[in-house]
């Protein structure tokens, strides 16, 4: 089966994803689309010039929306970038207008594949994409708290001095200020993090977990303040997600997807563990949260729902 990916928005995130995708060798065709046609032509040329050094040759070109009709996946990263000191929600109306135009043109192309959304605020943009496209909600997936979860696992791996792949923990809720870490679900290997802290408090003070959670929330802002944008981490996460979808891995990621009664939440898109397949999201994985954790998740969902309904009728 030929594997074809479209990328809409060739800024830092889009091009970091495209570069990583070529080096992964997981797709046969990659089409880049951007309003700046001169820039996107140059990006495609730059990528093509390195193909002879890669193990697998991928066809890369600067195209248009009609090229998406037979794509397996379209990644949308287009939109205004988050600025230093700016909350992701400040991008809401600007990026809703941009997304509305993009999704309309994707639908017109006859696209029937999977939408991946990375444009911020990602949870609301994912919900908006689902509404505008009329696609099966299982085929509309936001990057959600994938990157936040990776940041959390990295920080915990440093604290406990273990490989990040042996840290099993999640960030849930909004990809933003109301996200949180349910430490009741966090484990090193099969052992609960809270138990490890209680057994050896001098070595692993439980108070440090609060710092880890706050550093996870603050990470994007700190990077943006220092270099202007985040791109490599999210691009790496998106390539891993793309591979999992194309390979039908049945893998679990913390994605922005629609809840249909799970945790008592209806129709809101936010970051929760979900199983992905070649067809999109197969199902969410419902965690047994403590009462305080469930309250935080519902509070995050209520906030996202209220922000979504601030969009103008023409945007919804």
Kindly name the residue from 23, 93, 168, 175 that is annotated as catalytic.
Answer: 175
Place of tokens 């103008």: 312
In the three-class reduction of DSSP (H, G, I as helix; E, B as strand; rest coil), residue 225 is classed as helix
Radius of gyration in angstroms for the set of CA atoms belonging to the chain, rounded to a whole number: 19
| Exposure b/e, 264-286, CB count within 10 A at least 16 = b | ebeebbbbbbbbbbeebbeebee
H/E stretch holding 5 reads: strand 4-8
Quick one: tokens of 115?
A: 């939408």
Lookup result for tokens 């809270």: 194
Going from the C-alpha of 24 to that of each of 10, 161, 235, 236, 243, the distances in angstroms are: 19, 28, 12, 10, 9
- Of 75, 96, 106, 94, the closest CA to residue 9 belongs to 75
* 69 part of the active site: no
Q: With contact defined as beta carbons under 8 Å apart, do 195 and 201 qualify?
A: no
* Bridge partner residues of 256 (DSSP): 142, 271
Which two tokens mark 252?
């679990």
Catalytic residues: 175
């Amino acid at each position: 089966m030929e594997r074809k990916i479209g990328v809409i928005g060739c800024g830092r995130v889009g091009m970091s994803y495209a570069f990583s995708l070529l080096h992964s060798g997981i797709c046969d065709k990659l089409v880049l689309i951007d309003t700046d046609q001169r820039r996107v032509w140059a990006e495609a040329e730059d990528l093509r010039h390195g193909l002879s050094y890669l193990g697998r040759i991928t066809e890369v070109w600067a195209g248009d929306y009609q090229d998406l009709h037979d794509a397996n996946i379209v990644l949308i990263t287009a939109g205004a970038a988050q600025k230093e000191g700016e909350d992701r929600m400040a991008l809401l109306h600007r990026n809703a207008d941009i997304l509305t135009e993009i999704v309309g043109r994707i639908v017109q192309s006859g696209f029937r594949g999977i939408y991946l959304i990375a444009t911020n605020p990602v949870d609301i943009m994912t919900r908006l994409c689902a509404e505008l496209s009329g696609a099966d909600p299982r085929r509309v997936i936001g990057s959600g708290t994938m990157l936040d979860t990776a940041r959390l696992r990295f920080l915990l791996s440093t604290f406990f001095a273990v490989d990040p792949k042996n840290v099993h923990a999640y960030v849930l809720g909004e990809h933003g200020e109301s996200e949180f870490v349910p430490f009741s679900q966090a484990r090193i290997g099969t052992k609960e993090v809270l138990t490890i802290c209680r057994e050896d408090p001098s070595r692993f003070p439980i108070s440090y977990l609060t710092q880890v959670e706050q550093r996870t929330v603050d990470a994007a802002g700190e990077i943006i303040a220092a270099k202007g944008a985040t791109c490599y981490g999210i691009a790496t996460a998106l390539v891993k997600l793309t591979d999992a979808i194309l390979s039908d891995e049945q893998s679990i990621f913390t994605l922005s997807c629609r809840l249909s009664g799970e945790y008592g939440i209806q129709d809101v898109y936010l970051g929760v563990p979900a199983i992905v397949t070649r067809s999109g999201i197969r199902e969410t994985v419902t965690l047994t949260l403590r009462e305080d954790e469930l309250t935080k998740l519902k509070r995050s969902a209520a906030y996202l729902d209220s922000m979504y309904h601030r969009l103008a009728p023409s945007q919804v």
